[in-house]
């Protein structure tokens, strides 16, 4: 790997990669998001040797990704947009928790004009582990960010490069915890070299309408519209519609349903979702199956998520859609 074609900016957000445990043999009883991003880079001396002054860090947040709030996601998107606009920057690396990395990857994919690489990475073991996986993942992520021709939002972990659309965390413990389903990974990182199996992703770049109208940051909180509440409900044997009715009564703006099979729903849950839709709640149907996507039928009364997203990514997509609508309705003062 050679870093030198431009700056690589490493943005820290927390996660197990920055986690610490009381003893080195403990890979599960740790606290995530304890170590600063510059310290993580300093722990990989080969990286500093390769990159020289071309590697810079910025701590955007320090959170366990299960607690990732939308305001941090918006700030992260704004910081990414800021650095991507700098001609001196060749690519970005983001250190992140594994638990919701696929949601953040999808969020950034939907927002950023990423003609340069935006590489999220993570670890399953804390920084204090006997054999941590974070340092190798960081090294591999920088290799991808520095690769000429690389572009788009990807996740690099355990030697594989995954696209934001397909990547899912599929294992709660193994170091090789990610999978890209039917399409497989975009490529692999081997001894600092990137071997691609698919083309680099091209992203949607919704950008300014959501990040505040500029690459510099989000709009002031006071100017933001009320954030839409979007929840996920699941179909299962014995399901009923009560949870939907309660959410509607509580002011939910959007509902993603993780349906069974090809979008099938218990009749009581379906009736409640139709009531919700009639009351103005945006509903999207996805499947709880991990492979494939729901194939819509002309007779469907509830809209199927058009992009074939997993329920958690469909929730991000619907949140962005509703958020943009609210910002637009609020007018230019919203930024």
List residues near ligand SIN by CB under 6 A.
Answer: 14-16, 32, 64-66, 97-99, 122, 124
Residue 29: Cβ-neighbour burial (10 angstroms; 0-12, 13-18, 19+)? exposed
Q: Which is nearer to ligand SIN, 16 or 286 (CB)?
A: 16
Q: Is 98 a catalytic residue?
A: yes
Of the candidates 182, 136, 191, the one whose C-alpha atom is nearest the C-alpha of residue 163 is 182
Q: Which is nearer to ligand SIN, 65 or 203 (CB)?
A: 65
User: From the CB of 129, what's the least distance to ligand SIN, in Å?
Assistant: 12
Q: Which is nearer to ligand SIN, 14 or 91 (CB)?
A: 14
* Cα separation, 187 vs 203, whole angstroms: 17
Which residue has the closest beta carbon to ligand SIN? 97
Of the candidates 73, 71, 38, 31, the one whose C-alpha atom is nearest the C-alpha of residue 55 is 38
Three-state secondary structure call for residue 169? strand
* Cα separation, 64 vs 220, whole angstroms: 25
Give Cα 61 to chain centroid, integer Å: 15
Neighbours of 87 (CB within 10 A): 7
User: From the CB of 99, what's the least distance to ligand SIN, in Å?
Assistant: 3
* Cα separation, 93 vs 80, whole angstroms: 10
CB 257 within 8 A of CB 273: yes
User: From the CB of 325, what's the least distance to ligand SIN, in Å?
Assistant: 30
User: From the CB of 32, what's the least distance to ligand SIN, in Å?
Assistant: 4
How many CA atoms are closer than 13 Å to the CA of 329, on its beta-carbon side? 9
Selected catalytic residue, list 16, 100, 128, 211? 16
Selected catalytic residue, list 13, 95, 98, 128? 98
User: From the CB of 59, what's the least distance to ligand SIN, in Å?
Assistant: 15
User: From the CB of 271, what's the least distance to ligand SIN, in Å?
Assistant: 36
Q: Which residues of 204-243 are buried (b: 16+ CB within 10 A; e: fewer)?
A: bebbebbbbbebebbbeeeebbeebebbbbebeeebebee
Q: Which is nearer to ligand SIN, 14 or 212 (CB)?
A: 14
Q: Is 334 left (phi over 0), alpha (psi -120 to 50) or beta?
A: alpha
User: From the CB of 72, what's the least distance to ligand SIN, in Å?
Assistant: 12
Q: Which is nearer to ligand SIN, 20 or 325 (CB)?
A: 20
Q: Hey, CA dihedral for 23, 61, 175, 258, is it positive or negative?
A: positive
How many CA atoms are closer than 13 Å to the CA of 215, on its beta-carbon side? 11
Q: Which is nearer to ligand SIN, 160 or 285 (CB)?
A: 160
* Cα separation, 328 vs 334, whole angstroms: 8
Output the CA–CA distances (angstroms, integers) from residue 121 to 28, 54, 92, 174, 221, in the order listed.
19, 19, 11, 15, 29
Q: Which is nearer to ligand SIN, 139 or 175 (CB)?
A: 175
Active site residues: 16, 98
């Amino acid at each position: 790997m050679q870093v030198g074609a431009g700056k690589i900016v490493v943005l820290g957000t927390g996660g197990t990669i920055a986690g610490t445990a009381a003893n080195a043999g403990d890979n599960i009883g740790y606290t995530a998001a304890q170590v600063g991003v510059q310290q993580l880079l300093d722990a990989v001396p080969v990286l500093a040797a390769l990159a020289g002054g071309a590697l810079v860090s910025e701590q955007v947040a320090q959170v366990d990704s299960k607690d990732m709030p939308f305001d941090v996601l918006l700030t992260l998107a704004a910081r990414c947009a800021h650095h991507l606009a700098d001609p001196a920057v060749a690519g970005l690396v983001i250190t992140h928790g594994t638990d919701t990395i696929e949601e953040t990857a999808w969020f950034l994919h939907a927002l950023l004009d990423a003609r340069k690489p935006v590489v999220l990475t993570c670890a399953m073991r804390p920084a204090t582990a006997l054999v941590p996986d974070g340092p190798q993942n960081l090294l591999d992520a920088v290799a991808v960010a520095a690769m000429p021709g690389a572009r788009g939002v990807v996740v690099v972990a355990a030697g594989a490069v995954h696209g934001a659309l397909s990547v899912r965390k599929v294992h709660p413990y193994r170091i090789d915890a990610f999978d890209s389903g039917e399409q497989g990974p975009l490529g692999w990182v081997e001894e600092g070299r990137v071997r691609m199996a698919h083309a680099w992703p091209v992203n949607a770049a919704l950008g300014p309408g959501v990040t505040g109208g500029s690459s510099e940051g989000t709009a002031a909180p006071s100017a933001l519209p009320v954030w839409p509440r979007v929840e996920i409900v699941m179909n299962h044997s014995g399901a009923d519609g009560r949870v939907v009715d309660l959410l509607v009564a509580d002011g939910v703006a959007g509902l993603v349903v993780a349906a069974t099979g090809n979008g099938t729903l218990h009749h009581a849950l379906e009736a409640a979702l139709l009531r919700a839709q009639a009351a103005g709640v945006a509903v999207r149907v996805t499947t709880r199956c991990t492979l494939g996507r729901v194939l819509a039928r002309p007779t469907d009364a509830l809209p199927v998520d058009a992009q074939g997203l997993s329920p958690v990514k469909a929730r991000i997509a619907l949140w962005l859609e509703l958020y943009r609508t609210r910002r637009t309705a609020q007018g230019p003062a919203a930024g």
